[in-house]
Amino acid sequence: MPHQKRRKDLRNIAIIAHVDHGKTTLVDALLRETHAHKFKEGDVTIMDSNPLERERGITIFSKNASLQYKDIRINIVDTPGHADFGSEVERILRMVDGVLLLVDAFEGPMPQTKFVLRKSLELHLKPILVVNKIDRPGSRPHEVVDLTFDLFCELNATDEQLDFPIVFTSAKEGKATLDLDEEAVDMKPLLETIIHRVLPPVADPELPFQMLVTMLDYDSYIGRISTGRVVHGSVKSGETIALVKRDGEIRRGRVTKILSYQGLRRIEAESGQAGDILSIAGLDDVKVGETLADAANPMALKTIKVDEPTISMNFSHNTSPFAGRDGGRFLTSRHIRERLEHEAMMNVGIKVEPTENGEAYKVSGRGELHLSILIETMRREGYELEVSRPQVILRTIDEEVVEPVEEVFVEVDEGYQGAVIQALGSRMAEMRSMQVSAIGTIRLEFLVASRALIGFRGEFLTMTRGTGIMYQNFYKYQPFKGEMPSRHVGVLISQQEGAAVAYALWGLQERGALFVRPGEDLYEGMIIGSTNKGQDMVVNAQREKKLTNIRAAGSDEAIQLVPVQDMTLEFALEFIDDDELVEVTPKHIRLRKKILNDSERRRSYKKS
């Protein structure tokens, strides 16, 4: 085997971690240390630029940063920590030669750590263990190192991968050390470890140009932008290159712009060479996993295998009586179709197919969070749409129907473990382990069919008084597990259009939980609450108190209403049943029956 050429002046690394272990804060610290970004007063988690990421405190979209240390450029990619964005993680890891595995010095390795680490070990990447938050009260760094070593063994890491360097950090304070007995001063120990332990990228500038497209972006000014790592050769602005499609078809186009990274900014470059992470504009019909190559010698690279979608939902334009009232700018099915096609083009984990009636589109993704992020993004962009209940995608393998099964990790206080075990037991869950964590909570691990988890998260939070923590990762497909218990509550359905009246709601609240407040506009067929009994009830929420000229003792008491259930998108998607829809507009999230009229609804039930 010929000796591989490597670029000594470059290192490409990804940061992988569980949600909320401090990935983005660590990148802040490295950018500050190397003066790669001008921070304003109060700037934190600078990589989480998307408003949804800031609100939820999680990384959803992977992003690149570049910094210069000594005479070496370090490209850093921040990856999502949530299993629903597995397709994103898988692609990003193809661009790098090493990973920083970030673990909380108090919590230790968590479920998502296992998921992302498994992906990186499969790609034979060398990890650097970063034990973060050593300044946190109750931190136990040495114990966490042992637990992480056990995790590596469990994931069948090679001897070379088990010989990982360890750096202890406090990203918040911008300090790192290789030895806890020595005082940490700055982030230099971590930067030195990256330079010495991450291999320089294999890169031969003499070979014909090849780049695997791992991310796509769109700019209304320069068109579609393909991002990836240049594997071989070099590329210049203005030259003609080839696009090798998945099916082997070759198209040619001219490079109109090359962008590279400086800190967090994209800057225009004249050229790029093997090892660089670049963004190239000029080719329009690009998809993730395809190869940009030398026009004279177009050779394809191995394409990316993406996790298959496990959940689907139907998206269609808003058909409620209130359509167009909430300031939505995109109201037609054509608008919805164009937006979903654009998303499927950029987001390799999403699949869009037309349905039989032609008005709705079946959108498949990796999980409820994956799809709810898309819905929330569309809502903020001014779309009005209605979505159906999430459905699990079943497959047939060797003439046997199989369904996706997830690993579920639950952490609860001791008093709630019985209720949680019972609730998951009724959903045919298989318990794999139970142990006491470092802080005295109970950690439970289950295998549960994805189908059984739809709607469980809200119930779980109620059951544990909001104190429970639950994570889930896709495990594998297993034989279909039969009928599952469905929603055990019925719903209160508005009888007519009009504003909700406090007096009417006061009379209804003893029947169950309300979703609407006095004064809110309602329409016929809209769901305004849940009933304690399993049946649906059509109710009059506009009924006013009859006024007479006789005063009766006790009849003029002040009306006291119980606080209503906040209508979040997650709650709505988990709550609805098969004959219901979630209406999503820029200002409101409402629940409704698919068939709004009561007598028509009853006729349709009889037919079915």
Residue 393 tokens, joined: 């995608």
To the question of whether residue 134 is assigned a binding role by annotation, the answer is yes
d(CA 228, CA 258): 12
The answer to whether residues 262 and 189 belong to one domain is: no
Question: Which pLDDT band, with edges at 50, 70 and 90, does 42 fall under?
Answer: very low
Domain of 242 in residue numbering reads as: 210-294
Which residues sit opposite 442 in a β-bridge?
A: 412, 436
The answer to whether residues 78 and 179 belong to one domain is: yes
Q: At residue 87, does pLDDT exceed 60?
A: no
In a domain, 552, yes or no: no
Select the highest-mean-pLDDT range: 128-142, 472-486, 573-587. 573-587
The answer to whether residues 473 and 500 belong to one domain is: no
CATH number at residue 172: 3.40.50.300
The answer to whether residues 335 and 464 belong to one domain is: no
What does 255-308 look like in DSSP terms, one character per residue? --EEEEEEBTEEEEESEEETT-EEEEES-SS--TT-EEEESSS--PPPPPP-PP
CATH number at residue 344: 3.30.70.870
Average per-residue pLDDT for the chain: 79
The answer to whether residues 169 and 70 belong to one domain is: yes
To the question of whether residue 22 is assigned a binding role by annotation, the answer is yes
Mean local confidence (pLDDT), 7-34: 75
CATH number at residue 572: 2.40.50.250
Question: Which pLDDT band, with edges at 50, 70 and 90, does 444 fall under?
Answer: confident
User: Do 450 and 394 meet the contact criterion of CB atoms below 8 Å apart?
Assistant: no
Please, which residues have CB within 8 angstroms of residue 180's CB and are 6 or more apart in sequence? 134, 141, 142, 168
pLDDT digits (tens, 9 = 90+) for 202-252: 777 788 888 888 877 777 777 788 888 888 888 888 888 888 887 778 888
pLDDT digits (tens, 9 = 90+) for 51-67: 443 444 443 344 577 78
In a domain, 43, yes or no: yes
Q: What is the pLDDT of residue 468?
A: 79
Which residues sit opposite 509 in a β-bridge?
A: none
In a domain, 564, yes or no: yes
d(CA 113, CA 99): 12
To the question of whether residue 133 is assigned a binding role by annotation, the answer is yes
In a domain, 356, yes or no: yes
What is the DSSP code (8-state) at residue 545? P
Phi, psi of 11 (to 5 degrees): -135, 135
Q: What is the pLDDT of residue 1?
A: 38
Q: At residue 201, does pLDDT exceed 70?
A: yes
d(CA 290, CA 380): 31
In a domain, 526, yes or no: yes
Q: At residue 150, does pLDDT exceed 50?
A: yes
Of 197, 222, 254, the domain-final residue: 197
Q: At residue 604, does pLDDT exceed 50?
A: yes
Among 258-262, 306-310, 522-526, which stretch is predicted with the lowest mean pLDDT?
Answer: 306-310
Question: Which pLDDT band, with edges at 50, 70 and 90, does 456 fall under?
Answer: confident
d(CA 207, CA 230): 11
Of 294, 325, 347, the domain-final residue: 294
pLDDT above 70 coverage of the chain, percent:
87
Q: What is the pLDDT of residue 272?
A: 81
The answer to whether residues 50 and 118 belong to one domain is: yes
Among 268-272, 395-399, 436-440, 494-498, which stretch is predicted with the lowest mean pLDDT?
Answer: 436-440
Mean local confidence (pLDDT), 192-209: 82
The answer to whether residues 506 and 449 belong to one domain is: no
Q: What is the pLDDT of residue 80?
A: 62
To the question of whether residue 21 is assigned a binding role by annotation, the answer is yes
The answer to whether residues 524 and 575 belong to one domain is: yes
Q: Residue 7: how many CB atoms within 10 A of its CB?
A: 19
Q: At residue 598, does pLDDT exceed 70?
A: yes
Question: Which pLDDT band, with edges at 50, 70 and 90, does 253 fall under?
Answer: confident
CATH number at residue 225: 2.40.30.10
Please, which residues have CB within 8 angstroms of residue 121's CB and are 6 or more apart in sequence? 127, 152, 155, 156, 157, 161
Mean local confidence (pLDDT), 338-348: 80
Mean local confidence (pLDDT), 385-389: 90
Q: What is the pLDDT of residue 4?
A: 65
The answer to whether residues 95 and 165 belong to one domain is: yes
Of 364, 392, 420, the domain-final residue: 392
Mean local confidence (pLDDT), 138-152: 83
In a domain, 64, yes or no: yes
Q: What is the pLDDT of residue 550?
A: 62
Q: Which amino acid is at 451?
A: R
pLDDT digits (tens, 9 = 90+) for 264-284: 677 788 888 888 888 888 887
In a domain, 303, yes or no: no
Question: Which pLDDT band, with edges at 50, 70 and 90, does 558 fall under?
Answer: low
The answer to whether residues 373 and 425 belong to one domain is: no
Q: At residue 555, does pLDDT exceed 60?
A: no
To the question of whether residue 473 is assigned a binding role by annotation, the answer is no
In a domain, 551, yes or no: no
To the question of whether residue 59 is assigned a binding role by annotation, the answer is no
Q: What is the pLDDT of residue 82?
A: 47
> 544, 527, 509: which is closest to 588 by C-alpha?
527
Among 113-117, 212-216, 459-463, which stretch is predicted with the lowest mean pLDDT?
Answer: 113-117
Q: Which SS3 state, helix, strand or coil, does residue 115 take?
A: helix
Mean local confidence (pLDDT), 399-414: 84
The answer to whether residues 274 and 359 belong to one domain is: no
The answer to whether residues 166 and 38 belong to one domain is: yes
Q: At residue 349, does pLDDT exceed 80?
A: no
Number of independent structural domains in the chain: 5
Q: What is the pLDDT of residue 52?
A: 42
